[in-house]
Amino acid sequence: MQIKIFTTGGTIDKIYFDKLSEFQVGEPQVGEVLREANVSFEFQVEAILHKDSLDLSQADRQFILEKVLADPHRHILITHGTDTMIETALLLRGLPEKVIVLTGSMSPARFRNTDAVFNIGCAVAAVQLLGEGVYIAINGRVFKPDRLRKNRETLQFEEY
């Protein structure tokens, strides 16, 4: 079993905003997190976008969908900005033979204090345990994207 990981940007991979360049999202950190955790499964990381999720267009989300559809892996993990993670997840519903888990973080993985590593841990367990479908792993929970929203004060996702 090999897990395919698509990275799309988001806070999880952010570096500080450097005035001398427009670049905000750096190299994906998920591979390094998995190596440091000494994981014993195989995985493949593919960076398909480097955007803050507030900047994702419908075309970008369609692009994510196409990458997932074209990929042969059953187990798919997507790191994504948390602001519009639900929108992307809703678009990935109903794909046969795919177990798709989206995760991200409120603090960059590069930070000393961060939720990134914990969230990736949750997502990795979730993508191996769940059946077909798309899910969001965040705040230590695993959610279906339907009737889900991000509470910007508590920085927690909640069902409604």
Residues in binding contact with its own copies, number by CB under 8 A = 51
**Least spacing, CB of residue 118 vs its own copies, in Å:** 4
Could you tell me the smallest distance in angstroms from the CB atom of residue 146 to its own copies?
A: 18
| Region 69-108 residues binding its own copies, contact defined as CB under 8 A | 83, 106, 108
Binding residues for its own copies restricted to 105-144, rule: CB under 8 A:
106, 108, 110-115, 117-126, 128-130, 137, 139-142
Rounded to the nearest angstrom, the gap between the alpha carbon of residue 157 and the centroid of all alpha carbons in its chain is 14
Between 14 and 98, name the residue whose CB sits nearer to its own copies: 14
Closest to 43 measured CA to CA, from 98, 4, 100, 74: 4
Q: Residue 64 interacts with its own copies (CB under 8 A)? A: no
The answer to whether 139 and 99 are in contact (CB under 8 A) is no
Please enumerate in sequence order all residues whose Cβ is within 8 A of that of 152, keeping only pairs 6 or more positions apart, or say none: none
Whole-number Å distance between alpha carbons of 67 and 151: 29
**Binding site residues, its own copies, CB under 8 A:** 11, 14-17, 19-20, 24, 33-34, 36-41, 52, 54-55, 83, 106, 108, 110-115, 117-126, 128-130, 137, 139-142, 154-158
